[in-house]
Amino acid sequence: MQAAGSHPLCRADAAGARGRGRGAPAAQAHGVRPEPGRRCPDVTMTPGARTRPAQAQSLEPAGSRLVSGAAMPPPPARAPARTARVSRCLSFSACHRLHSKSLSDEENLKLFGKCNNPNGHGHNYKVAVTVRGEIDPTSGMVINLTDLKEHMQKAIMEPLDHKNLDKDVPYFSDVVSTTENVAVYIWENLQKHLPAGALYKVKVYETDQNIVVYKGEERVAEK
């Protein structure tokens, strides 16, 4: 009989079975258990190096990460920010008289015609307010329309609806109440309620034919 550990088949003696002592096969020290009747594979160890069996090599794709043993794809790229413009309309009624304190009565009559009538005249104004901004990824909105409605109520309806612009609105005590100046007034009033940079455009319809658009410009750009 052959002594334990000398048989060509891999058989560890009592000491080698625990991976201790000189009789432990090199393959067994690396966790490889040969099948019965087969020889142990030759394993060459480089001093200071650590190896693992070929079948244990990671096959995970580049850029992925392992979670509980499963390969997970990289997180999706964040969608680009989208901007949009949102408009809301309302109507208000008001009266006024076109008259400039810088002109004589004759000059005012010549310039404004029947709109200079001392008794004044009225309009059913229509106003479209446009705001702009990024579409919020959570709410899907640029602005809550309920909030915009409240801002327009405070900035437009409360000070202007069913009012005499020249007598009831201090802004027009020294400013001619043309539709252009009404648009400027609405713009400046809305700026007090909306977030900075949100207001994009104010559009005022004096009639279906007479329309003023104001975007906050202070003067005509020089060419």
pLDDT in tens, 190-199: 999 999 999 9
Q: Find all residues with CB under 8 Å of 96, minimum gap 6, and list them.
A: 120, 121, 122, 123, 164, 165, 166, 172, 177
Residue 123 annotated in active site: no
Whether the pLDDT of residue 61 is over 80: the answer is no
The pLDDT of residue 116: 98
Q: For residue 25, what is the DSSP state?
A: -
Q: Which two tokens stand for residue 85?
A: 């413009």
Which of 115, 180, 188, 193 is catalytic? The answer is 115
At the fourth CATH level, the homologous superfamily of domain 83-214 is 6-pyruvoyl tetrahydropterin synthase/QueD (3.30.479.10)
User: Domain ranges in the chain?
Assistant: 1-39, 83-214
Alpha helix positions (H), 48-201: 105-112, 145-152, 158-160, 165-168, 179-191
Residue 115 annotated in active site: yes
Whether the pLDDT of residue 51 is over 70: the answer is no
Question: Using an 8 Å Cβ cutoff, are 192 and 154 in contact?
Answer: no
Whether the pLDDT of residue 96 is over 80: the answer is yes
Mean predicted confidence (pLDDT) in 17-33: 47
- pTM score, whole prediction: 0.64
Residue 95 annotated in active site: no
CA-based R_g, the chain, Å:
42
Question: Using an 8 Å Cβ cutoff, are 16 and 10 in contact?
Answer: no
> Using 50, 70 and 90 to split pLDDT, how confident is the model at 218?
confident
Dist CA 192 CA 173 (whole Å): 21
What is the torsional sign of CA 22, 27, 33, 37? negative
Whether the pLDDT of residue 180 is over 80: the answer is yes
87: how many CB neighbours lie within 10 A of its CB? Answer: 13
